[in-house]
Amino acid sequence: MKYFFSRLSMLLLICIIAFGCNKKIKQQEDEIYSRHLQAHIKLTIFSTPLPDEKSELDLLLLNDGQDAEKMNVKNILDSLYKEKLIKPLIIVAIHADNRLQEYGVSGLPDFNNNGSKADKYAAFIDNELVAFIKKKAGVRKFRTVAIAGCSQGGLSAFDIGWDNADKIDKVGVFSGSFWWRDKDITAKDYLDVNNRIMLSKIRSSRKRPKLQYWFYAGTGEENADRDKDGIIDVVDDTRDLIEIIKSKNVCPPSDIVYKELAEGKHEYAYWRKAFPDFLIWAFQ
């Protein structure tokens, strides 16, 4: 009898441990070789417990994956999932190999030729990474696919989302570098309306992507104010882009969310505060 209860206790303990492990957020390091970038790209992958029905699984592609710890990704994901504020989710944090060249507007480098590999990075996401993740996760189609990033990584995320709306449903931009320009601001003929690359691209685009958009900017990120209207550039540029999107009628106004934080700085301490709101919006 003692042996029976001892065995039963052991089985119960194993079940409890197994159940507890299944409820934990998993983090693993991986790598994929990109023929487009001609480089091995490191990935940090975070995942909630997987649902029985794989089609209910969501995916977030996150730029600047080397800074996932600064963004507090694992702890935020764990908290939101335990509180049942988000659905089952995989976050693939993509480590930048050369962020100054990979992040930008596809095919349109800035006046210093930064972002010269943005088209190759976009091709890596579209043609290589998404298929790689599907195979790893055993998923034929994710319920929702989103892409997000901060600063120049946010510019990249928006550009890739806009150009690949057949694979991406939602875009998250934290303090996006929408000032990205094809002419030095000191040039006599510089004009915001003509020389901000992303805004000009969207204004002239004939695409009507079915996307949802989430933007964040802080009013304390910088002192620059090109047009001297008392509003810093990161806020002005983000608001201007939103107005262009709205003018094109590519989505209902409710599909565009803009969060502005008073005195928010251009740093991870503030971006990670906004990160839970984005995740809940994208994956609830």
Which of 10-14, 138-142, 202-206, 270-274 shows the lowest mean pLDDT across its residues? 10-14
Domain ranges of the chain: 23-283
CATH T-level fold of 23-283: Rossmann fold (3.40.50)
How does pLDDT run across 155-207, given as a tens digit for each residue? 999 999 999 999 999 999 999 999 999 999 999 999 999 999 999 999 999 98
Q: Is the pLDDT at 14 greater than 80, yes or no?
A: no
**How far is residue 11's CA from residue 8's CA, in Å, rounded to a whole number?**
5
DSSP secondary structure code for residue 196 in this structure: B
* Mean pLDDT across 29-52: 97
Q: What is the per-residue pLDDT across 55-96, written as a single tens digit (0 to 9) for each?
A: 899 999 999 999 999 999 999 999 999 999 999 999 999 999
Q: Please report the pLDDT score of residue 17 as a whole number.
A: 37
Buried b (16+ CB within 10 A) or exposed e, 203-228: beeeeebebbbbbbbbeebeeeeeee
pTM here is: 0.91
Please identify which residue in the block is written with the tokens 């915001």. 192
Which band of pLDDT confidence, cut at 50, 70 and 90, is reported for residue 20? very low
pLDDT at 12 (0 to 100): 40
Q: Is the pLDDT of residue 7 over 80?
A: no
> pLDDT band at residue 2, thresholds of 50, 70 and 90?
very low
Residue 130: name the closest of 167, 102, 87 by CA: 167
| Mean predicted lDDT score pLDDT of the chain | 92
pLDDT reported for residue 132: 97
The confidence band for 5, taking pLDDT boundaries of 50, 70 and 90, is very low
Cα distances (Å, whole numbers) of residue 101 to 96, 114, 147, 205, 222 = 10, 5, 18, 23, 23
Structure tokens at 161: 């989302």
